[in-house]
């Protein structure tokens, strides 16, 4: 029996993504339900689970089933220090909210550029597992665009301009689009540039997807200005409404997406209102196609 048939699902959008029903993520076992979830992830690129309780330990346990936990602060900590879940939150320790122009809020705003997580890391992300803790009534949606379907549909004349070329990524490139001071922060500039293939072939399904991000700043064989023009054109193609699923958050939602086959962005909300999502990315491994992405 196909693993997909063991999960009850309903579509999130006409061509990609499903809501998975009747699953309590706290009870998922690596050898039992997880293989069906993973198979669904490979084919659908985005999975939604509603009404979940996802405390830190459950969140981490689920992420570890996909791959090694991504820890961008590992170089600043002792190996014995606990893993910290990334909080996409404007809530402060005293219960207030950060100001709209504070660096922390600007950092949240930079998530509103279409991007893939962690393309600027030496080992990029396979998956983001994002869950809502505090939501606002309006705004703050997460939008996911399928670069797999977009690549499938893309005219050959456009494909030809990027196929076979590597793309260079730099974290500060995306942050500089939001704020110059943000782009100078140590946490932003500490990563050396990366260089990835522009197409990620899923080793399980054999399907290709365009691998781009707001962090991409130069395409092989082009100067930065020409690269920006083409990257914008490619992003605009991939984010046409037919390739986009927009998720309006409810507390307890868990949204999981394949970083190899999608780009995403957050939508703004009223920054005077508290809002908190918790995120863990898991890193890719060789089994996810990493070596084929490295440009020599």
Structure tokens at 209: 């997807």
Pick 117 or 288: Cβ nearer Fe ion: 117
Interaction residues for Fe ion, span 28-67 (CB under 5 A): none
- Compare residues 117 and 253 and give the one whose CB is closer to Fe ion: 117
Contact 150, 240 (CB under 8 A): yes
Looking at the Cβ atoms of 42 and 117, the one nearer to Fe ion is 117
Q: Tell me how far, at minimum, the Cβ of 231 lies from Fe ion, in Å.
A: 17
Q: Site for Fe ion (CB under 5 A): how many residues?
A: 1
Q: Residue 43 and residue 27: Cα distance in Å, rounded?
A: 23
Query: Minimum distance from CB of 196 to Fe ion (Å)?
Result: 16
Minimum distance of Fe ion from residue 117's CB (angstroms): 4
CA distance 139 to 267: 6
Using an 8 Å Cβ cutoff, are 73 and 229 in contact?
no
Q: How many CB atoms lie within 10 A of CB 296?
A: 4
Of 117 and 208, the one with the shorter C-beta distance to Fe ion is: 117
- What are the C-alpha distances in Å from 215 to residues 30, 232, 234, 285? 33, 12, 14, 21
Kindly state the smallest distance separating residue 101's Cβ from Fe ion, in Å. Answer: 21
Q: Rounded to 10 degrees, what is the CA torsion of 120, 121, 123, 126?
A: -70
Residue nearest to Fe ion (CB): 117
Nearer to Fe ion, 33 or 271 (CB): 271
Q: Whose structure tokens read 């780009």?
A: 263
Q: Pairing mode, if any, of strands 142-146 and 244-247?
A: antiparallel
What would the x/- binding string for Fe ion be over residues 107 to 126, using CB under 5 A? ----------x---------
Minimum distance, C-beta of residue 11 to Fe ion, in the bound complex (Å) = 23
- 259 part of the interface to Fe ion, by CB under 5 A: no
- Shortest distance, position 148 Cβ to Fe ion, whole Å: 17
Nearer residue to Fe ion within complex by CB, 52 or 214: 214
According to DSSP, residue 272 is labeled T
Q: Tokens 């983001």 correspond to what residue?
A: 128
Nearer to Fe ion, 221 or 268 (CB): 268
- Nearest distance in Å: CB 93, Fe ion: 24
Coil, strand or helix: which one is 71? coil
Torsion over CA: 71, 75, 76, 77 (sign): positive
Query: What does the binding site for Fe ion look like in residue numbers (CB under 5 A)?
Result: 117
């Amino acid at each position: 029996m196909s693993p997909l048939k063991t999960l009850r699902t309903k579509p999130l959008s006409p061509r990609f993504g499903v809501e998975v029903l009747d699953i309590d993520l706290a009870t998922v076992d690596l050898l039992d339900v997880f293989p069906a979830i993973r198979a669904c992830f490979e084919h659908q690129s985005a999975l939604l689970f509603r009404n979940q309780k996802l405390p830190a330990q459950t969140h981490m346990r689920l992420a570890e089933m996909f791959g090694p936990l991504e820890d961008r602060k590992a170089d600043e900590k002792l190996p014995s220090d606990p893993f910290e879940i990334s909080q996409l939150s404007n809530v402060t320790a005293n219960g207030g909210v950060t100001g709209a122009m504070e660096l922390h809020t600007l950092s949240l705003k930079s998530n509103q550029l279409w991007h893939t997580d962690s393309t600027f890391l030496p080992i990029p992300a396979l998956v983001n597992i994002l869950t809502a803790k505090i939501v606002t009534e309006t705004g703050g949606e997460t939008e996911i665009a399928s670069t797999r379907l977009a690549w499938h549909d893309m005219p050959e004349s456009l494909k030809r301009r990027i196929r076979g070329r590597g793309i260079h990524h730099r974290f500060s490139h995306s942050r500089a689009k939001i704020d110059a001071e943000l782009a100078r922060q140590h946490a932003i500039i500490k990563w050396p540039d990366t260089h990835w293939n522009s197409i990620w072939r899923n080793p399980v399904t054999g399907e290709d997807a365009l691998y781009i991000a707001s962090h991409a700043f130069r395409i092989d064989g082009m100067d930065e200005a020409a690269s920006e023009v083409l990257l914008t054109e490619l992003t605009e193609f991939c984010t046409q409404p037919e390739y986009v699923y927009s998720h309006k958050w409810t507390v307890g939602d868990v949204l999981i997406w394949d970083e190899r086959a999608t780009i995403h962005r957050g939508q703004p909300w009223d920054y005077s209102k508290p809002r908190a999502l918790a995120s863990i990315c898991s890193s890719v491994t060789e089994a996810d196609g990493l070596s084929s992405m490295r440009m020599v």
